[in-house]
């Protein structure tokens, strides 16, 4: 039997910032104590910026650069994110108790930042290398790090596999055309009401896909 737990690792660089990596799990109880413990760890290690990394399914096509949304508490960091083509997040919905870390960190002098990559809802892969590389592209541009060539190759192979699967499914091809139009409009405006609505058929198809994967 293996008991799941949180994992903390670190990386030191000869030049530039050092990193602390937190693989955090959603606690079933004592959530506030869990959050406070993480904050104490960040303070003890002298962490200056806490960055939440994640993903979510969205109505985006795999044929376009995957959307990355996020934000930051520091004005300069916000400008850096904007240059990296990270769009402000307008997400409203369920979240994890661990998100309290991002809310509480500024109170103890730690800057916070978030980066969420939006994945195509109609794929839902066990290992989404395309999404992983897209998130790494943004993250590495912020910290002057290279993206691993092996990860890029895996992403390219996965994208080709999705192309083949979509080409064999006329229904998904029709969905993809609407998602591309929706995505292109989304890149022009940030107001949801100004974007072209998806047809009821597409909405039903995506809901069916979501139920099937669940």
Q: Which residue has the higher pLDDT, 90 or 11?
A: 11
Residue 74 maps to a domain: yes
Average per-residue pLDDT in the chain? 86
The CATH number assigned to the domain holding 128 equals 3.40.50.10900
Residue 201 maps to a domain: yes
Residue 109 maps to a domain: yes
Q: What is the pLDDT of residue 175?
A: 83
Number of domains, the chain: 1
DSSP β-ladder status, 68-72 and 7-11: unpaired
Segment 98-114 mean pLDDT:
93
For residues 116 and 81, give the distance between their C-alpha atoms in angstroms, rounded to a whole number: 12
Residue 82 maps to a domain: yes
Q: What is the pLDDT of residue 158?
A: 93
Residues of the chain with pLDDT > 70: what percent?
A: 88
Segment 163-182 mean pLDDT:
85
Residue 207 scores a pLDDT above 80: no
Which pLDDT band, with edges at 50, 70 and 90, does 102 fall under? very high
DSSP β-ladder status, 111-120 and 68-72: antiparallel
Q: Write b or e for each residue in 39-52: b if 16 or more Cβ atoms lie within 10 A of its Cβ, otherwise e.
A: beebeeeebebbbb
Residue 1 maps to a domain: no
Residue 54 maps to a domain: yes
For residues 178 and 50, give the distance between their C-alpha atoms in angstroms, rounded to a whole number: 37
Bridge partners, 49 (sequence order): 111
Which pLDDT band, with edges at 50, 70 and 90, does 213 fall under? very low
Structure-token match 């192309």, residue found: 163
Residue 48 maps to a domain: yes
DSSP per position, 5-25: --EEEEE--SSS--EEEEE--
For 124, left (φ over 0), alpha (ψ -120 to 50), or beta? left
Segment 128-145 mean pLDDT:
91
Domain that holds residue 21: 7-213
Which pLDDT band, with edges at 50, 70 and 90, does 91 fall under? confident
Residue 186 scores a pLDDT above 80: no
> pTM for the whole thing?
0.82
Residue 210 scores a pLDDT above 90: no
Q: What is the pLDDT of residue 89?
A: 83
Residue 33 scores a pLDDT above 70: yes
Which tokens is 165 given? 């699967």
Residue 78 scores a pLDDT above 80: yes
For residues 26 and 41, give the distance between their C-alpha atoms in angstroms, rounded to a whole number: 17
């Amino acid at each position: 039997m293996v008991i799941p737990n949180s994992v903390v690792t670190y990386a030191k660089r000869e030049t530039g910032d050092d990193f602390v990596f937190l693989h955090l799990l959603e606690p079933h109880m004592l959530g506030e104590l869990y959050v406070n413990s993480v904050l104490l760890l960040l303070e003890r290690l002298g962490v200056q910026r806490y960055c939440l990394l994640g993903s979510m399914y969205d109505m985006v096509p795999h044929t376009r650069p995957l959307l990355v949304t996020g934000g930051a508490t520091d004005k300069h960091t916000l400008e850096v994110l904007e240059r990296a083509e990270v769009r402000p997040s307008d997400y409203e919905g369920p979240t994890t108790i661990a998100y309290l870390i991002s809310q509480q960190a500024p109170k103890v002098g730690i800057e916070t930042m978030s980066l969420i990559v939006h994945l195509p809802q109609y794929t839902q892969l066990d290992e989404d290398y395309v999404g992983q590389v897209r998130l790494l592209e943004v993250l590495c541009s912020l910290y002057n790090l290279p993206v691993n060539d092996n990860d890029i190759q895996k992403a390219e192979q996965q994208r080709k596999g999705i192309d083949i699967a979509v080409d064999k499914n006329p229904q998904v091809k029709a969905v993809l055309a609407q998602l591309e139009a929706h995505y292109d409009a989304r890149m022009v405006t940030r107001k949801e009401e100004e974007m072209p609505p998806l047809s009821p058929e597409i909405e039903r198809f995506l809901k069916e896909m979501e139920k099937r994967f669940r």
